Amino acid sequence: MKKKTTYKWMGAIVVFSIALFAVIYFFHLQDDAIKVASDVKPGGPPTLSYYIQGDLDNPLEKPMDVTKVGQYVYVTDTNHKQVQAFDTSGTPIFKFGKEGTNKGQFQFPYGIAGDKDGNIYVADLYNAKISIFTSKGQFIKYFEVANKADVLKGPGGLRIYNNKLYVTDIPKNKVLVFDLKGKKLLEIATATGKDDFLNSPNAVAIDNDKNIYVSDTGNQRLVMYDKKGNFKRIINGSTDGKGSSKFVNPRGIGVEENGTLLLVDNMTHYVYGFDKNGKQVFQYGGIGSDKGQFYLPNGLFIDDKGEVLITDTVNARVGLYY
């Protein structure tokens, strides 16, 4: 009887040990997958504050990009062929644009940015134009390039920094920098060398040192350049950017005040954080519709307060993180 009891206890210990090992192993994998650097952000990656979804009568449908200019948050509401504006609490205020090819109309409103005067620039990927509106959504004019050779074929991501317009031309596989009068200042078409071409570059961002970051979507990587367009670094989640990329369809990017680079990876449904040396320091998200999750996220914008706005296309919402 004593022998059987001993066997039972031994069996229970073995089962418990296996279960404990499984739990430890699972959390080890999770810890390895989601690395948080405490010196980047206290408590880890940005924390979700609230969602912007629109009102019941006119909810967002496939929000692609977002910016914050003055007192308003502007979202390209792409399936509705319009831009929706919200106040800083997420309340819908007004909208502008409709389907068409005329002034103030859109076929595929995508990238969005604002200048120091509060004017709103909207890239229309299919109409091949960048439209400029007042802060209240009144059409002003199209952005015109000075040289016909620089005419845009499919403008995607937009950023305005120090009175310069940075734009990705997705079908031309280029990133172009203009002054706000349309004069081309810089063109970027390659990465590590003259034969290493960009492939469908999707988004662009600039840090405080005027370095330029491009999500090179078709090549599953992010490329960093100096202010003159000279190649500096590949970032793809591997050591020194030399291994296989962990990205699948990288999209929106932004740089925080402390130099942390944020990247939206559309088809893994994660947002990744990297330090100044291109080393991954955290990731957050994952596929789903719960709080903090994403389903094909796309656009990312960091405002002057350090708040992070991310468009979550299939979930039809914009998350504000701080």
**Looking at 24-33, 69-78, 232-241, 247-256, which range is the least confident one?**
24-33
Regarding whether 190 and 57 lie in a shared domain, the answer is: yes
DSSP element (H, E) containing 283 = strand 280-285
Q: Is the pLDDT of residue 140 over 90?
A: yes
Regarding whether 172 and 203 lie in a shared domain, the answer is: yes
Regarding whether 92 and 16 lie in a shared domain, the answer is: no
pLDDT, residue 44, reads: 66
**Looking at 34-38, 57-61, 291-295, which range is the least confident one?**
34-38
Regarding whether 186 and 60 lie in a shared domain, the answer is: yes
Whole-angstrom distance, CA of residue 52 vs CA of residue 185: 36
Regarding whether 91 and 4 lie in a shared domain, the answer is: no
Regarding whether 303 and 259 lie in a shared domain, the answer is: yes
Residue where the block lists tokens 């942390």 = 260
Regarding whether 236 and 95 lie in a shared domain, the answer is: yes
Specify the higher pLDDT residue, 178 or 18: 178
CA 32-33-35 angle, to 5 degrees, is: 70
Q: What's the average model confidence in pLDDT over 212-224?
A: 98
Regarding whether 277 and 144 lie in a shared domain, the answer is: yes
Total domains in the chain come to 2
Q: Is the pLDDT of residue 5 over 80?
A: no
Q: Residue 271 forms beta bridges with which residues?
A: 264, 284
Regarding whether 258 and 162 lie in a shared domain, the answer is: yes
Q: Is the pLDDT of residue 203 over 80?
A: yes
pLDDT, residue 126, reads: 98
Regarding whether 186 and 139 lie in a shared domain, the answer is: yes
Regarding whether 17 and 165 lie in a shared domain, the answer is: no
pLDDT, residue 90, reads: 96
Q: What's the average model confidence in pLDDT over 283-306?
A: 97
Decide: 234 and 241 in contact? Cβ < 8 Å: yes
pTM of the model: 0.87
Nearest to 175 by CA among 207, 206, 147, 220: 206
25: containing domain: 1-39
Q: Judging by beta carbons within 10 Å of its beta carbon (0-12, 13-18, 19+), is residue 60 exposed, middle or buried?
A: buried
Q: What's the average model confidence in pLDDT over 71-89?
A: 97
Mention every residue, 6+ apart, whose C-beta is less than 8 A from residue 180.
115, 160, 163, 164, 165
Specify the higher pLDDT residue, 214 or 34: 214
Regarding whether 13 and 72 lie in a shared domain, the answer is: no
